[in-house]
Amino acid sequence: MVRGDRIAAGSAFLAAAVAGFMLPDWIISLATIAFANGLVVLGLIVMWRAGLVSFGQALYYCMGGYAVALIGRWGGVTDAFLLVLVGGLSAAGISFVIGFLLARYREIFFAMLSLALSMILYGLLVKTESLGSTDGLNVIVPTFLGYAPHQEKLIVALYFLVLVVCATAALLVGAYFRSLAGALAIPVRDNELRVEFLGMSVSRLIHTKLVISALLAGTGGALAALAVGHVDPNMSYWTTSGEFVFITILAGAGSVGAAFVGSLAFESVRSFAFAMLPQLWEILLGSVLLLTILFLPQGLGSLIERLHWGREAKAP
């Protein structure tokens, strides 16, 4: 990271932290969900840099959420850090297994297969009474390393939990992007054959990206479950995945911070539109997506990424 980026990231984090003490609860709640979803978007960015768009990321989001609901309910675990960790890891574990299959697919086939997999989970959840069927499950009120806040305090505590997790994830993903495995995303997208003949396994690179993005999505789902206090099968429905893809397109793959800014903007506009123009929300959404693709193709493609491809490293 160059110095300017570091300062920007640090001050953004500080501003977000200070805001946690000053802003009204409803804004804090909104930001909590937005940042939790931002983790999912960050995961999509990890894949997108390698040219992969998943229309089934909600699978991992939902896995993370249900993992939290289930172990909170039956495992007697209440610690938020532990719950989130388990949520993220269970999603990553599933992704590791199906990654052996999914890593062989590209482009539209990758999008469709990931969509099918997320719909399998949806179909299962909807029909499973013991998992709450279409009603879903309530999530326990978490504790934080022994601290057990309620009401307004809980909202603030969850916000800081999300903030800390997001900052950690942002730092780690940033480091990953600068590593060889992360930086090879663009070569993989450009020309897999060449990468393979230079001596690197493309399927392993992609498999790693799938697991990383599932870990992020599962963590996001776990945090969202804690913040909302409820999970239901819609977390796995394809429209949920579609929303994440939408935010990713808006955010662009250029930087780690874009995931969170994009997600925050999305949630803000959504709550505004729901209140003011409930009938026009999807028209608004669709138009923005359309305009982005038509007129800001760099948000979609190479331009922003190019600025960041390994340029942070000291110029020789």
127-186 binders of another protein (CB under 8 A): 127-128, 176, 178-184, 186
Which residues inside 247-286 make contact with another protein, applying CB under 8 A? Answer: 249, 279-283, 285-286
Nearest distance in Å: CB 231, another protein: 18
Please choose, from the candidates 199, 214, 64, the residue with its C-alpha nearest in 3D space to the C-alpha of residue 139.
Answer: 64
Size of the residue set binding another protein (CB under 8 A)? 73
Alpha-carbon distance 272 to 280, whole Å?
11
Between the CA of residue 171 and those of 25, 45, 174, 207, 308, what are the distances in Å? Answer: 27, 14, 5, 21, 15
In this structure, are residues 304 and 254 in contact, taking their beta carbons and an 8 Å threshold? yes
Host H or E run for residue 28: helix 25-48
Contact pick of 148, 168, 191, 272 for another protein (by CB under 8 A): 191
Query: Is residue 208 near another protein by the rule CB under 8 A?
Result: yes
Query: Is residue 2 near another protein by the rule CB under 8 A?
Result: no
Contact pick of 25, 107, 135, 152 for another protein (by CB under 8 A): 107
Query: Is residue 113 near another protein by the rule CB under 8 A?
Result: yes
Contact pick of 12, 19, 53, 77 for another protein (by CB under 8 A): 53
Query: Is residue 96 near another protein by the rule CB under 8 A?
Result: no
Query: Is residue 14 near another protein by the rule CB under 8 A?
Result: no
Q: Which is nearer to another protein, 153 or 194 (CB)?
A: 194
Contact pick of 111, 154, 223, 264 for another protein (by CB under 8 A): 111
Query: Is residue 307 near another protein by the rule CB under 8 A?
Result: no
Which residues inside 19-48 make contact with another protein, applying CB under 8 A? Answer: none
Alpha-carbon distance 88 to 155, whole Å?
21
Alpha-carbon distance 188 to 207, whole Å?
12
* 3-state DSSP assignment of residue 144: strand
Q: Measure the CA angle with vertex 219, ends 65 and 152; round to 5°.
A: 75
Alpha helices, DSSP H, located in 75-145: 80-102, 107-127
Query: Is residue 61 near another protein by the rule CB under 8 A?
Result: no
Contact pick of 108, 148, 164, 307 for another protein (by CB under 8 A): 108
Query: Is residue 194 near another protein by the rule CB under 8 A?
Result: yes
153: its two tokens: 């305090």
Pick the piece of the chain touching another protein (CB under 8 A) from 88-96, 147-155, 202-210, 261-269: 202-210
Strand partners, 144: 147
Contact pick of 122, 159, 244, 260 for another protein (by CB under 8 A): 122
Contact pick of 117, 154, 161, 173 for another protein (by CB under 8 A): 117
- Here the contacts of 288-295 (C-beta below 8 Å, separation 24 or greater) are 288/250, 289/246, 289/249, 289/250, 292/249, 292/250, 293/249
Nearest distance in Å: CB 8, another protein: 22
Distant-in-sequence, close-in-space partners of 253: CB < 8 Å, separation ≥ 6: 45, 48, 49, 304, 305
Query: Is residue 195 near another protein by the rule CB under 8 A?
Result: yes
